[in-house]
Structure 1
Amino acid sequence: PAPPLGESTVDEPKPVMIELNLQYRGGGLDGAVARVEELWQLVGATGHPVVVAEQYMAGELTHQQIQNITTADSAGGDWPKRAIFRIWPDFQVHRQIDASGATVKALPAQRSFAAYGAGIVWAVVDSGIDGSHPHFLADHTLDDPSVADLHRDFVSGSEDPAQALVDDDGHGTHVAGIVAGGLQRWKKDDPERRALAVEKRKNNGAVGGNDPILVPRSVDVELLNGIAPLAKLVSLKVLSEFGDLTARTARVMAALAYVRQVNAAAGKLPRIHGVNISLGYDFLADWFGCGQSPLCLEVNRLVLSGVVVVVAAGNSGYVTLNASQSDVTRFSAAITINDPGNAENAITVGSTHRDAPHTNGISFFSSRGPTGDGRPKPDLVAPGERIMSAAGGQHLKDIQRAQFPGYSAAAYIEDSGTSMAAPHVSGAIAAFLSVQREYVGKPDEVKRIFMSSATSLNRTRDFQGAGLVDLMRALQTP
C-alpha cells in the first residue's frame, strides 16, 4: 500500500548533535573533531559538521548514516579510541561481570562480610552449562561432591549428569557465569594466564543486524568472577535447538519438580537453595489468568517448598505497533512481564545499566509492570546491558571462528537482556545466604529483605520494582 499522504519513504537527513569523547586518545577534543570530520566524509554525509560549545558537533545525517558513522567509529577499538561519545537523540554507545559486580556491591560485600556464596547451591534452568570452561574449574563449581550427581538433561531425558554439562547454545553458560565461578583462583601461579574478553558491536551490514562485529578488549582476569564465586551450581538443561514452546515449558516444569524432589529426599537440609530462570514467554491472556499458568503455579509451589526462585522479567518492554495505526511505531509498553515472571512468589528481575544505573535508568527492552491482573512487578532490577560472562556453545564458536591472536580457552563475551540481570540477583542472594544462613529455606523472608534494602533509581514502580539490588544493604537489613 502507498504511504499516508505527506509521509516519505526516503531516508532524509535529520539534524543531529554529536557529543564528543572527552577522553579520546587520538588527540583530545581537537583529535575527536578531526576524527568525526573524517568519518563524516566516510559515510557520505553532506556538508560539514559544526563544532558547538567545544564538546559537540552539529550537522545532518540520515538514519543509515547515523548507524554507519557509529559502527565505523566503534571499529577503532576500545572506548578511549572512539571519538563519538553519544549521538543525540540516539542511544548511548559504549561497553560489562567485571564491571557490573560493583554495581550490585558484590565486591564490598566480599571484603566486609566474606559473602562469597560458600556452602550455597543454585540451580540454573537453561540451555546447559559448559562444564569444560575454566570459569567453573578452579572452585569446582560444577563437580563438587555437593552437586556432581544433581545435573540433569531434560531435553534428552538422560539422568547422566555429564549430558547437562554440554551447552550447544551458550546462553546457559553465560547466565551461570554471572551467578558463580570465576578466574580469580584459576592457574593462580601461572604468569601466562589470561582470558579473552570480546565485545559485540552492531553490524549494519548483516541481515537484521543479527551478526554483530566481535572486538576483543582488555580485561582484568581477577575481576572475571560470578557475584557469588564460591557457590556451587546445578545445571538443569531444558533448552536445545529444537522443540516447540509447549515442549520447552513442560521441561522447565519438570526441572522445577525435580528440585522439589531432590530437596524432599534430602530430609531437613535442602541440597538446592535457589533456582535461576532466565527464560520464559509472553503472557498468554487468552489461555490463563495472569500468574495462573501451569508454569507460574509450579514456580509458586517450589517457593512454598523453601526454594528461592529468581526469574527474568522478559525483554518485551520495547514493542512495535502496526504502522497503519500510528505514526509512532516503536515504544515502551506496560503489562509486558513474561511468564513465569508473573508468578506471585517469584523474584522477578528487570534490567538496568551495568555501571551507571542512576543516570541511564531502566533498559529500554526490560519488560514493564504491572502484571495483567494489576499486581506490582518487577520486584527488582539489576545490571543487564552488555554483561561480560563465560562464552560457551555458539558464543564460543563465534569467537573461535574470528581467530583472534592469542586466543585462550578462557573466553568471555558480552550479552544483554533481563536474562543477564536475573543471575545478578541469584548470585547476590546466594552470597547473602552464605553469610545469613538462618534464612536458608525462607524464600519469602529473603524476598522481603532484598526488596526493602534495594536502592531506588527514582523511576516508577512499574519500571524499577523496589529498585536496584544492593547486597551490602541486604546483609545489614534485619
Structure 2
Amino acid sequence: MLSLQQENKNHSQLISRFVLLAALAVAIIAVFSVSNGKAALTVPKISPKLMSEIGSSSETVPVLITTESHDYDAIVQAIEDAGGTVTQQYKYATGLAAELPKDAVFSISEMAGVQRVQMDEPRQLESGSTTADSIGGVLPLGSDLEAIDGAMRTGVAIPMDMADIQTVSADPMGVDAEPNLYNVPWAMGATDVWSTGNFGQDSLAVVIDTGIYADHFMLSGNVIGGEDMSTDVGTPYEGFDKATNHWHGTHVSGIIAGHGAVDFPEDSLLVQSVELYTGESLPSFAPGTKRLFLFGNAPATQLYGIKVFDHTGGSASNSLIIAAIERAIDLKLVDGLDVDLINMSLGGGTGYEGRDLESQAVDAATAADITVVVSAGNDGPASLMIGSPAGANTAVTVAAAATAVNSRVFWDQNFGILGVGSYLYTTDDDQVIYFSSRGPTSDGRMKPDTTGIGTFVLSSFITEAAPQSIAFASGTSMSSPSVAGVVSLLNTWGETVGASPYDYKEAVMDGSNPIPYYDKYDQGAGMVNAADAMDALQADKHYGSVQSPLPSRHSGGAQRPKGTYIPTGALMNGYTIDIKDLAPGHVQDYWFKLRPGAERITVDVTDVDLGVDPLLFNSFELHVSSAVRTTDCCYYVYSTNVWGDASFTIEELNTQASGDIFGVNLANFPMMPGYVRLVIENDWTTFDNISGKFTVKLERNRDNSKDEFHKGMLNNGEDSGFFEVGFGSEGVAIELSWLRDWTRYSSSDMDMIIAWYDTDGILHYEFGGATFSSPEKVVLKADNIDAVYVLVQGYETYDQKEPWKMKVNYLGD
C-alpha cells in the first residue's frame, strides 16, 4: 500500500508542529501584538505543519485550502495578487491547492469562505526508498525471515530470477488457462465466473498509482491509455507506461487484469512447490517445462493508468491524489470514457475519516457511477486504524489475508528448500495478516468492508533492465486490486441490468466468507468469493441502490477499541494476561483508557512456552499503540518479537525494552490521554501454539497541585485572546486539556500559544503547545521572566463548542 512515510521518524518530526524560526516570528508579529499586560490576537486558521514551513528558508509553501463552497473566485484572485499560484481547483471536493508566498498565508487564511489552510503534505510509498537494491522497496530471494516479515507491510517486492524462464502472453478470455489452486483467481472463485463467459470484458478500471507498463506480457492489450500527473512531468521520466516507472502500479494491474503464463524447467523449485502444496500437476506445453498461469481476477478488464507517484515511487501530494480522483470522474463525465471502477492502493492518516477532502472525492466518484476500491491500510494490528481514503463512506475498503498455498510456496522459494513453507504456515485456514489495518472507524462504522489475498502475490513486475519480470509482493496494496477484479466481473454482468456501485459493494460483502477466528473489524464480511458475489448480485431484487450519506458531522463519542477492557484500578496493581495455546497468526486484543497524569506503562513478559519449535522461529509479537488513531505513526511498541522473559517500559517520550526480544521496533511519543491498544500475537510464521504471561502496570502522577486554574469553551477557529498567568522564580509549567481528546470522535485539536517578556522588555514566543498531543504541555524554564501570556485556540473542533481547562504550576520558590 502507498501511505504517508512515517516509519522511524523521531518525535520532533511527527509530533512537534511549531518549530518557530526567526522568519516565522516576524510574520507572527505582523499579525498580533502584546502590550500593556494585555494581548489582542486574530489567530489564523493555519495548520501547525504549515506554520513550521513558513519559518523555513523557502520563499513559498504548498498549501491545501478547505473552503465552504466552490465559489473560489475571490480566493484565487487573492492568491494571484499575492504572487502565489493556484495548482488545483476541485470540482467535486470543496477546496483548492496553491503554492503561496510565506507572507501571504495569514491573509489568505482569514478570508471569508476559507475553513482551513494546511500543508499540502506528500504521500509516499510506505517502503520509503524504493530503488531496486533498497531494503523496503525490493528484497532479493534468500533474505532472512526477520527482514521479510518486517518489510511486508511496506509493500516490498521480491522478484523471481527470470533466468531459464519463458514468459507467455495468454488469451485474456482464459480459454487456454488450466485452473490451478495456487494463484488468486482460483483461490477467490473467479474461475467459476469465467466459466459463464465473463472475464471482465466491457469493464474499465482506472488505476491511480505509479503508472502501468502497457507492454508487460501479462497486460498485453489491456491498457487503453493513461496520463502522468506526477512530478516526473517535464523530465525524461515523464510517461505513465515507461519501464523506468516504479513497479507498484504494474504489479497491482496484473492482479486486476493479468493474463500471462510462465514456463519453468520441470524440475524447478517453484514447480515442485506449487505441485506439492496444491496436489495438482502443472501442465506442460514444451518438453522439459511446466507452465504456471498468472491471471488476474478479471483478465479482460480494460485499464487506464493515472500516474501520481514519480518513477522512484517517491512523493505524491495529497492534493494530487484528490485531483487524480477528480480526473477519473471527468474521464467519464466529460471525456466520455465508460469508467466503471477505480483502484487506489494508497492512503494515510486522518483525524476525520469519512469526511475529509479525499473522502469527498471518493463519494463524488461513487455518485458518478464509479465503484472505488481502496486498501484498508497497513497500519494493523491495533484497532481504530482505518485512515483515508479507506474510511470514505462509499469506498469498498479491503483488508489483506494470507493463504496457505501462497505463503508456503513463497517460503520455499525464499529459503531454497522444498517443504520448508509448511513449517512457516502450519494451518490450512486463511489468516488476516498482522499489518492489515483494523477497524472500526472512529465514528463507529464497520471498516474494512471485505478481504482479499494480500500476502506473497505473484504478479507483473518491472525494472528498466528487466521489464518482463514477475515478483512476489505483500500488502493491502495487493488485496485491493484482487477485489477490484471481482468488481469488474460484477460490472460486466451488472451493467446490463442497471446495477450501481452500492449494488456491487453489497454483492461483494454478501459474497464474502468469514475467516475463522477473526472478527468483522479485522476482515469486514470475510474473504471475497467472486462466484458467491455474482450469485448475490443476480439475486438482488432492486438495482440502482444508493448508499446513505454520512451526517455532515458526528458529535458522539469515539468508538471504543475491540478486545478486552482493562480497568484502570486493575492496572495500578498490575494486571496479568495469561495467554494459553494461542495459535499462529491469532491475536488477543486488550485496551485501557489512559488518563491525564499517567506517568509510566510497563509490560513484563514471563513464563513463555514456545511449544514445538523446529526452526527456532516461534515467538510472540507485541504491539502497544498510543491513543492516536488512523495511522501507525504512534505505536510505542510495534511488531516486536518476544521469545522469553522480557520487559517494556513506556514513559513520556521514552520507550525502552530488554530481555529475550528481536525485531525490536520502539518509538518515543507523549503519554496522551485516550485508548491505548495492547495486541498480543502469535507470530504468523510460528510453528506451534504458544503460551505466556503479560503483566501490564500503570503508574500515575498523583500530584494534582496547581497554582492557577483556567477554563473556557471555544468553537472551531475561535481563540480565547491572550490572558496573563503567573510564574515562579525558575519559570512556569502549563498544561492544556479538553473534553474531546483521542477518546472521542471527532477528536478536537486545541492549541496554546505563549508570549512572554523578559526583564529586558524583549518579547518571546513559545509554540511548543501546538502539537498533536493531548493534553498540550509547555514548560517555560527561565529566571528572567517579567510577564507571561497564554492564548488558547480551538484549532480544529469540527464546529463543536469545546470545553477546555488549564493547569498552571509555578517553578521555583
Among candidates 252, 256, 259, match of residue 179 of structure 1: 256
Note the C-alpha offset of 1:192: 10
Q: Which amino acid aligns with 1:284?
A: T
Q: Which amino acid aligns with 1:175?
A: V
Q: Distance in 2 between matches of 1:368 and 1:353?
A: 15
2:241 is matched with 165
Distance 1:192 1:423, change over 3 A: closer
Larger strand proportion of the pair: 2
Please list, as runs of the form range in 1=range in 2, the aligned pairs for 1:41-52 lying within 5 A after superposition. Answer: none
When normalised by structure 1's length, the TM-score is 0.61
Please list, as runs of the form range in 1=range in 2, the aligned pairs for 1:119-198 lying within 5 A after superposition. Answer: 119-137=202-220, 140-142=221-223, 147-148=224-225, 150-156=226-232, 163-166=239-242, 168-183=245-260
1:309 aligns with 2:356: no
Q: Distance in 1 between matches of 2:317 and 2:290?
A: 37
Distance 1:98 1:169, change over 3 A: farther
Note the C-alpha offset of 1:261: 1.1
Among candidates 520, 531, 536, match of residue 472 of structure 1: 531
Distance 1:120 1:355, change over 3 A: farther
1:438 is matched with 496
Note the C-alpha offset of 1:361: 2.1
1:15 is matched with none
When Rg is computed on C-alpha atoms for both structures, the one with the higher figure is: 2
Among candidates 321, 342, 346, match of residue 391 of structure 2: 342
Q: Cα RMSD over matched residues?
A: 3.7
Among candidates 241, 247, 251, match of residue 320 of structure 2: 251
Q: Which amino acid aligns with 1:297?
A: Q
Please list, as runs of the form range in 1=range in 2, the aligned pairs for 1:377-416 lying within 5 A after superposition. Answer: 377-393=447-463, 410-416=468-474
User: SS in structure 2 opposite 1:165?
Assistant: coil
Q: Which amino acid aligns with 1:183?
A: G
Corresponding residue pairs, total? 325
Asked if structure 2 preserves the Cα contact closer than 8 Å seen for 1:350 and 1:422, the reply is: yes
Q: Distance in 2 between matches of 1:349 and 1:133?
A: 26
Note the C-alpha offset of 1:411: 1.6
Distance 1:259 1:193, change over 3 A: farther
User: SS in structure 1 opposite 2:304?
Assistant: strand
Q: Distance in 1 between matches of 2:302 and 2:397?
A: 22
Q: Distance in 1 between matches of 2:498 and 2:335?
A: 14
Distance 1:198 1:222, change over 3 A: closer
Note the C-alpha offset of 1:243: 9.5
Note the C-alpha offset of 1:182: 1.5
1:371 aligns with 2:429: no
User: SS in structure 2 opposite 1:134?
Assistant: coil
Q: Once the two structures are superposed, what CA deviation does each residue of 1:394-450 show, in whole Å capped at 9, x if it has no partner? A: xx75xx5xxxxxxxx642100000000000000111122223323666101110111
Asked if structure 2 preserves the Cα contact closer than 8 Å seen for 1:280 and 1:314, the reply is: yes
2:189 is matched with 105
Distance 1:219 1:110, change over 3 A: farther
Among candidates 284, 296, 299, match of residue 350 of structure 2: 284
Asked if structure 2 preserves the Cα contact closer than 8 Å seen for 1:387 and 1:414, the reply is: yes
Note the C-alpha offset of 1:99: 1.8
Asked if structure 1 preserves the Cα contact closer than 8 Å seen for 2:439 and 2:522, the reply is: yes
Q: Distance in 2 between matches of 1:153 and 1:476?
A: 39
Among candidates 454, 470, 478, match of residue 512 of structure 2: 454
Gaps of 5+ in 1: 1-64, 71-76, 79-95, 200-217, 318-331, 401-408
Larger helix proportion of the pair: 1
Note the C-alpha offset of 1:177: 0.6
Q: Distance in 2 between matches of 1:265 and 1:385?
A: 38
Indicate the structure whose relative CO is greater, using CA pairs within 8 Å and at least 6 residues apart.
Answer: 1
1:115 is matched with 198
User: SS in structure 2 opposite 1:372?
Assistant: coil
Asked if structure 2 preserves the Cα contact closer than 8 Å seen for 1:276 and 1:310, the reply is: yes
Q: Once the two structures are superposed, what CA deviation does each residue of 1:48-76 show, in whole Å capped at 9, x if it has no partner? A: xxxxxxxxxxxxxxxxx9969x9xxxxxx
Distance 1:66 1:390, change over 3 A: closer
Distance 1:131 1:476, change over 3 A: same
Q: Once the two structures are superposed, what CA deviation does each residue of 1:142-167 show, in whole Å capped at 9, x if it has no partner? A: 1xxxx33x444343457x99811125
Q: Distance in 2 between matches of 1:256 and 1:414?
A: 28
Asked if structure 1 preserves the Cα contact closer than 8 Å seen for 2:383 and 2:437, the reply is: yes
Note the C-alpha offset of 1:370: 0.4
Q: Distance in 1 between matches of 2:521 and 2:289?
A: 35
Note the C-alpha offset of 1:359: 1.5
Q: Which amino acid aligns with 2:329?
A: R
Q: Distance in 1 between matches of 2:230 and 2:387?
A: 22
User: SS in structure 2 opposite 1:252?
Assistant: helix
Distance 1:264 1:100, change over 3 A: same
Asked if structure 2 preserves the Cα contact closer than 8 Å seen for 1:124 and 1:172, the reply is: yes
Q: Distance in 1 between matches of 2:433 and 2:238?
A: 36
Q: Which amino acid aligns with 1:272?
A: V
Q: Distance in 1 between matches of 2:458 and 2:360?
A: 33
Distance 1:230 1:355, change over 3 A: farther
Q: Distance in 1 between matches of 2:460 and 2:378?
A: 21
1:352 aligns with 2:401: yes
